[in-house]
Amino acid sequence: MNMNRPVPLLDVPRSNAPMREEFLEALAKVVDSGRFLFGPDVKKLEEECARWSNTRFGIGCASGSDAILLALMAAGLREGDEVICPSFTFFATASAVSRLGGVPVFVDIDPVTFNIDPKALEAAITEKTKAVIPVHLFGQCADMDEIMTICDEHGLVVVEDAAQSIGANINGRPAGAWGHFGCISFYPTKNLGGMGDGGMVVTNDEELEDRVRLYSGHGMRPRYYHQVIGINSRLDSMQAAVLNVKISYLDDAVAGRQRNAKLYQQLFSQSGLANEITLPVARFGDGHVWNQYTIRVHSEKRDELKAFLAEKNIGSEIYYPVPLHMQKCFQPLGYQAEDLPETLKASQEVLSLPIFPELEAGEVKIVVDSVKQFFAMSQRRAA
């Protein structure tokens, strides 16, 4: 084994290469059809995503960010409405709220899963709360049983941010099938990644499906008659054609991620690093689809470890270095860093390691050995 072999965080060409001929064939069909918007590929992907999410409907749109925006528009979010969400997430979870004049209310996470803490969620509910956006972070469902109980009791709209988590589930019930809406992203690094931007809203509710479609097409019905002020957010036929090829292999991709996660867990737990790092926990077993494999690095060595890995050409990334409640653009909301202690701590400790489906066992071993090497060296230096 060549220990100096580079291990990328992601290798999109490696993932896509086996499907190359199928992509070209699918794209050629779209070229020849001349139907670049709507058309059979979009419809097929909508049905497939609904099937994966165990929902009745899927509505294609231009991105995962737009999926969240459209869900909130369809939910009737109004100026001043409060929407509870985690701060430890990607920006798009909360920006959709602000863009509609709503107020994101950031709450802390469960340190074990990195997902929103249902107790903190419940404590943040006020008269003005309209909706909740639980995020299924890194490929693992938030605690939806408890979240739905709380939200149902208070009559709140639930928009699941499943951008990273198509196929994730709790005892077989998938992400997107719990709340009023599920929002999926096809950004290239997601588990079902396209060749550009794309997104999907899934829902079980026929009326909500109709409203999402209305808002995604300029609120226009019939043509040139505008019922509401919508946006233009569609999924291209080209993108849908590519994604239809990829979704037919999504089972294999998920299995590859799960296999790599298991190998990491096994190798790391034999590595004697329990005092140095904490391993991720799959609370719902194989319901975790591992968009990221994220460890915590204790002490203040996280950035040093990242630099050490980079020097060995091993990819790693910090998701996310600055929680949303500490972002400049949200300063007017008046949060202090320490308001959400678990979120703050996570942002200082997390490091995501390569986990893409085609990653080989030998590569996982190189990553683990390199992490071991780093801590052995820093202990020697301290001694």
**Cβ 190 to ligand PLP shortest distance, Å:** 6
**Cβ 161 to ligand PLP shortest distance, Å:** 5
Instruction: Give whichever of 129 and 233 is closer to ligand PLP, judged by the CB atom.
Output: 233
**Cβ 34 to ligand PLP shortest distance, Å:** 26
**Cβ 265 to ligand PLP shortest distance, Å:** 23
Q: Looking at beta carbons, which residue is closest to ligand PLP?
A: 64
**Which is it for strands 82-86 and 129-132: parallel, antiparallel or unpaired?**
parallel
Instruction: Give whichever of 55 and 63 is closer to ligand PLP, judged by the CB atom.
Output: 63
DSSP 8-state class, residue 5: -
**Cβ 58 to ligand PLP shortest distance, Å:** 15
- Reading phi first (left if > 0) and then psi (alpha if -120 to 50, else beta), residue 139 is in left
3-state DSSP assignment of residue 245: helix
**Dihedrals φ, ψ of 84, to 5°?**
-85, 130
Contact yes or no for 325/105 (Cβ under 8 A)? no
Instruction: Give whichever of 91 and 249 is closer to ligand PLP, judged by the CB atom.
Output: 91
d(CA 192, CA 40): 19
Instruction: Give whichever of 215 and 374 is closer to ligand PLP, judged by the CB atom.
Output: 215
**Cβ 197 to ligand PLP shortest distance, Å:** 6
**Cβ 319 to ligand PLP shortest distance, Å:** 8
Long-range contacts of 12-15 (CB under 8 A, 24+ apart): 12/188, 12/189, 12/193, 14/356, 14/358, 15/193, 15/253, 15/356, 15/357, 15/358
Instruction: Give whichever of 254 and 263 is closer to ligand PLP, judged by the CB atom.
Output: 254
Unique residue bearing structure tokens 């497939």:
48
Instruction: Give whichever of 187 and 308 is closer to ligand PLP, judged by the CB atom.
Output: 187
d(CA 1, CA 362): 7
Task: Give the torsion sign (CA, 69, 48, 113, 313).
Answer: negative
**SS3 labels along 324-354:** HHHCHHHHHHCCCHHHCHHHHHHHHHEEEEC
Distance of CA 55 to the CA centre of its chain: 18
**Cβ 198 to ligand PLP shortest distance, Å:** 7
Give Rg (Cα) of the chain. Answer: 21
Instruction: Give whichever of 53 and 65 is closer to ligand PLP, judged by the CB atom.
Output: 65
DSSP-assigned beta bridge partners for residue 317:
352
Instruction: Give whichever of 164 and 294 is closer to ligand PLP, judged by the CB atom.
Output: 164
Which chain residues interact with ligand PLP by CB under 6 A? 63-65, 89-90, 92-93, 135, 161, 163-164, 185, 187, 197, 199
